Amino acid sequence: MSGIMVILEQRADPAQREGRIARISWEALAAGQRLAAQLNLPISAVILGSETESLAAEIATRPVAKVLRVEHPLLAQYTPDGFTLALQQLIQTESPAYAVLPHTYQVRDYAPALAARLDQVLISDVVDISEGPIFTRQLMQGRLNGSYRHAGTGPCLVSVQAGAFRVEDSPATAPAAITTFTPTLDAAQIRTTPGQPFRGSSQTVDLGSAQLIVSVGRGIKEAENLSLVQELATALGAELAASRPICDNGWLPMERQVGSSGQTVAPKLYLAVGISGAIQHLVGMKGSQCIVAINKDPDAPIFEVADYGIVGDLFEVVPALTEAIRAARA
């Protein structure tokens, strides 16, 4: 067994973000770096596709020992069969101790099949890695934490939850070596025909990349009152997000919902306005660097995860805060 391998993923929407690595992939790299430091092993980064030169060059600027381009025309578009077969060959060749992946929809689609083909373990949706290494997963909608240790000989697959590992700015290093791995793939092995890649509308909100988020909950009472929080978000230069009831009511589009059935976010600032802090909401935002909560109930669960709390009526606090921010920025 040698080294830690991190498998990065391209952003899902090539129309808008061509040639870019999804943020959660850099978080997977951060998780891989933690593992590599603990085990004192070298780290390699993998990108799959066709014509991945520029992506590989971008990855090579990060602190990794080497970048592996898994190149094949049949990998130009994602298919579970193509990715599973290619990664099976790569992992069997490289024999890493751990292969770390971002817990994306794509990874959820192929990683169980990859683990089964390798006859290995997949520890999925990991939120922490401590000495051991011990992997933490959340159970029962985040009410319980489970600790997992890999007892086998590996390679062990580990997928990491969005927002769980912080991407640090890394000092500039000499670019890592890039090598190309060409898997043996035959079109007959690929049982699905990919359709057109998903292209979101230009209005699609990428809350996952937002640095500042103002999020509103049922405490706002009426759709007409949303302008209060919109003004606060505009003053801060923040994206507007919401808890589920706000989106269920159609007051804001579903793409702005944060939580277990919405988006997972990890901004620098998450300002929760009139949100109680139900577990299904917390799992989507507790990776935020700084959480500020405004709630009139001092016992609201949101205060358990908040770095700063304001106990008060949002209809008084929010306009005052907006004014203060505007004044500070004037």
Residues contributing to the site for ligand FAD (CB under 6 A): 217-219, 243-245, 257-262, 274-276, 278, 280-281, 284, 294-297, 300, 313-315
Whole-angstrom Cα distance, residue 142 to residue 122? Answer: 19
Short-list 245, 200, 201, 197, CA closest to 221: 245
Give whichever of 138 and 243 is closer to ligand FAD, judged by the CB atom. Answer: 243
- Residue 316, classified by CB atoms within 10 Å of its CB into exposed (0-12), middle (13-18) or buried (19+), is exposed
Q: How far is the CB of 257 from ligand FAD (least distance, A)?
A: 6
Contact 44, 3 (CB under 8 A): yes
Give whole-number Cα distances, 300 to 176, 203, 275, 306, 316, in Å.
48, 33, 8, 11, 18
Q: Which residues, at least 6 apart from 316, have a Cβ–Cβ distance to it below 8 Å?
A: none
* DSSP string for residues in 10-43: B-S-HHHHTT-B-HHHHHHHHHHHHHHHHHT--E
- DSSP β-ladder status, 177-181 and 269-273: unpaired
Q: How far is the CB of 89 from ligand FAD (least distance, A)?
A: 38
Task: Choose between 133 and 309: whose C-beta lies nearer to ligand FAD.
Answer: 309
Return the H-helix or E-strand segment holding 133.
none
Of residues 76 and 305, the one with the C-beta less far from ligand FAD: 305
Task: Tell me the C-alpha distance between 282 and 266, whole Å.
Answer: 11
For ligand FAD, which is the closer residue by CB, 34 or 244?
Answer: 244
Q: Identify the DSSP state of 279.
A: H
3-state secondary structure of 123: strand
- Whether the Cβ atoms of residue 47 and residue 67 lie closer than 8 Å to each other: yes
When the beta carbons of 80 and 301 are compared against ligand FAD, the nearer one is 301
Residue 159 CB, nearest distance to ligand FAD (Å)? Answer: 20
The residue among 163 and 219 lying less far from ligand FAD, judged by its C-beta, is 219
To the nearest whole angstrom, how small is the minimum distance from the Cβ of residue 315 to ligand FAD?
6
Least distance in Å: CB of 261 to ligand FAD? 4
CB of 219 or CB of 287, closer to ligand FAD: 219
The residue nearest ligand FAD at its CB is 259
**Minimal distance, residue 137 CB to ligand FAD, in Å:** 18
d(CA 91, CA 87): 6
State the minimum distance, in angstroms, from the CB of residue 239 to ligand FAD. Answer: 16
Nearer to ligand FAD, 297 or 304 (CB): 297
**In the complex, least distance from residue 264 CB atom to ligand FAD, rounded to whole angstroms:** 9
Minimum CB–partner distance for residue 281 and ligand FAD (Å): 3
Select 52 or 263, whichever has its Cβ closest to ligand FAD: 263
The answer to whether 51 and 35 have CB atoms below 8 angstroms apart is no
